[in-house]
Amino acid sequence: MSSPSNPDSKGSIYLQLLKNRTLMLLWSGGTISMIGDIFFNMAVVWIVYTHSQSLLQTALIQVVWHLDRILLGPIAGTLVDRWDRKKIMVVTNIFSAIVVGILAVTMIGWEHPSSIIIFITVILLNSLSTFLMPAQYSIMPEVIGKEHLTTATGIFTSISRVAALVGSSVAGVVIAMVGSVWAVIGNSISFLVAAACITFARIPKRKEPSSIKKKPQFRRDLVEGWQVISDQPVVKSMVILTILVNVASFMNPLLPGLVDQQLNGDASILGMLQSAFVIGAIGGGAVTGPLERSIGAGRLLGFSLGITSMTIIGMALSTWTPLSLSLMALRSFGMTIGIVAMGTVIQVLVPEEYRGRVWGISSSLSVIAIPVSSLIGGWLADLLGVVPLFIAGGVWYLGCCGVAWLNRHIRTARISNVTQEKSIAEEEAVGG
């Protein structure tokens, strides 16, 4: 993809991205699918919580949500580096539509499906997503161009969050007024739309497909993925930090309990909180590119963890809905700038032929703490209530903030340094 005449001109960058037909199709499909996912996620969490009144059962959704990634992530990532990435993305979306459609039919037949049926659906759906995500992750630097990856990722975050804002606002009302089944049906349709968009997109072929064929041993491919992570201090440090951050992931499935116990709200209030989260992400995505160029991705991550810590503690103590909404938006803003910036650094660092397996392995390791954290968090929330759990989560995030600032590899990471080093290495390789 050709570079704009003035790389520092935001207008030229944005115009170039808008003219990228493949990128627009992928963004469109991803945005529509995201809206469907919001409907589905809110529906299943609210169904389980309202029918069981158990925060432990609600937390079990998060356990099964990540169990497949832990078990299948490295395998899926390695296979993505071998298979046709476009076919993977199309097929996984089609099968996801079928899985969610079956749940919708079940909900029509039985007004209140059992938690077991929902758990099975979530496992199947996220098993498919385990193959979809590394395929998407692998192609984006070639679709966009590494020099614009941070800006494009930030823009997409904002665009998708605008759509998610609408989805969150509407989902809570739809679930409260006409029932969860319509939210699930909408998600099934969104997967089909995403599959159609990907079908018409021109996904770049791998530069050296023959290199994969020359290495027929699956085990060797998997080991190479581990080696790439081990050889990249920034990637390795980020995996370790993400594991630590996700120890506090027990808070996510407890949000319905916080709405109920602190705000005396229903599904519509939950939808408003998720909408506030989206608003914060829109702002964060819009400014991540300029902020990263100014202070670097690593420092952004440190600031983001500090902001997240303070806002979580504030939400735990708040009994006023407007304050909780404001804190949720600020929390999301902080999380977004750090995640987008550091995620882009890792994408640029990892060579194309290894991105699938590196994503699979790193994502598997990153979420390894989530199932145990969610189970313990749900159990403690049933005993103690959600407020102490959210305060503990905020304090934990503050500790992770300290880890980020003390780690030199994370603190000094920035996109410009990575791209310059890779360009020099490529020139030396050609000259040699």
Pick 241 or 52 by higher pLDDT: 241
| Per-residue pLDDT tens digits for 94-138 | 998 999 888 888 888 776 677 788 888 888 888 888 888 888 778
Q: At the top level of CATH, which class does the domain 218-425 belong to? A: mainly alpha
How confident is the model at residue 86, as a pLDDT? 87
Both structure tokens of 86: 């476009």
Mean pLDDT of the region 235-256: 90
The CA distance from 330 to 111, in Å, is 37
Q: Which of 387, 198, 376, 404 is nearest to 307 (CA)?
A: 404
How confident is the model at residue 431, as a pLDDT? 53
How confident is the model at residue 207, as a pLDDT? 62
The domains of the chain are located at 15-200, 218-425
| Per-residue pLDDT tens digits for 282-314 | 888 888 888 888 999 999 999 999 999 999 999
Ramachandran region, residue 179 (left: φ > 0; alpha: ψ -120 to 50; beta: rest): left
How confident is the model at residue 421, as a pLDDT? 56
| Per-residue pLDDT tens digits for 372-418 | 888 888 889 889 999 999 999 999 999 999 999 999 999 999 877 76
What is the CATH number assigned to the segment(s) 15-200? 1.20.1250.20
pLDDT exceeds cutoff 80 at 220: yes
How confident is the model at residue 408, as a pLDDT? 95
Q: What is the mean pLDDT of the chain?
A: 82
pLDDT exceeds cutoff 70 at 263: yes
Mean pLDDT of the region 251-257: 85
Confidence of residue 324 (pLDDT cuts 50, 70, 90): very high
Q: Answer yes or no: are the C-beta atoms of 222 and 73 closer than 8 Å.
A: no
Element (H, E) at 197: helix 180-200
SS3 content of the chain, % helix, strand, coil (to 5): 85, 0, 15
Pick 417 or 251 by higher pLDDT: 251
